[in-house]
Structure 1
């Protein structure tokens, strides 16, 4: 299976650390790079200076965004920009319901997997704001089935069996 790599047609700055990326497929994303810059150690330290950050432009053939001079190392590729953009998109009730359907969990199983109550899960699906840690776990479980396989405890249909020696 071949996936077409994303290409960038244009870049504008959205202070202090965001880029507005115009994709060649017609999409437009605002991507906050604060976390990327903060975890890039000395290599990305120059981007903490707004004057340098503001030099962002599409790289060769739209395959990246580059900063500074042509010989510099300050680059982020279009593929990772697209991944960051997808991760930063809003995640609401429709997304929660779609995630549950894709993964194939019951309401109880979804709540158990996320470590929340059934009523909280139902509230999220009804429109309550979903906290970022829950969003992150849902997205991670979609990307990496091993996460779900390691931590899901499926529920069995029907009533629990009566314990031996219990009184009815």
Structure 2
């Protein structure tokens, strides 16, 4: 999985806090923004305001010009990857690491990645790909099996 995010070709509101986003050759996805629409961004829960969504400049974002809000295409892509089960959430990755009692360096060694990648994953700077998510689950299951033996 690349960290180069696809451009947005089209967008439309299709529910309370759901967008149908056309990522061009990477497909059309529904993205739920309910976790995003909190605090000052709770204005997005207003149906009329939410329906005014449009593609931002160069397809790099979606925006609601009437209320001055914008969500980057990279954030939407990461949300869609997590919601489709293709990626792990940063907070879940960090909780997994702590549950296993691993340092960032030990996590890197266990997963066969760099410590820098672990840091990026925990900060949400990079998508945690499905293969890493599955490796985390497998390592945890292996540890549980060893404890039970």
Match of 2:133 among 102, 124, 142: 142
Match of 2:143 among 143, 148, 153: 153
Q: What root-mean-square deviation, in Å, do the aligned CA atoms of Structure 1 and Structure 2 show?
A: 3.4
Q: Distance in 1 between matches of 2:74 and 2:135?
A: 18
Query: Partner of 1:21: helix, strand, or coil?
Result: strand
Q: How does 1:78-93 map to 2 (within 5 A)?
A: 78-89=73-84
Q: How does 1:45-64 map to 2 (within 5 A)?
A: 45-64=42-61
Return the TM-score normalized by structure 2.
0.56
Q: How does 1:65-84 map to 2 (within 5 A)?
A: 65-69=62-66, 73-84=68-79
- 1:7–1:23 contact (8 Å) kept in structure 2: yes
How far off is 1:142 after superposition?
A: 1.8
Q: Distance in 2 between matches of 1:149 and 1:80?
A: 28
Q: Partner of 2:112 in structure 1?
A: none
Return the TM-score normalized by structure 1.
0.50
Structure with the bigger RCO (C-alpha within 8 Å, sep 6+) is: 2
Q: Partner of 2:24 in structure 1?
A: 24
Cα distance per residue 1:67-104 (max 9 Å; x no partner): 024xx54111111101111111158xxxxxxxxxxxxx
In structure 2, list runs of 5 or more residues that go unmatched: 87-99, 101-129
Structure 1 runs (4+) deviating above 3 angstroms are 147-152
How far off is 1:151 after superposition?
A: 9.3
- 1:52–1:68 contact (8 Å) kept in structure 2: no
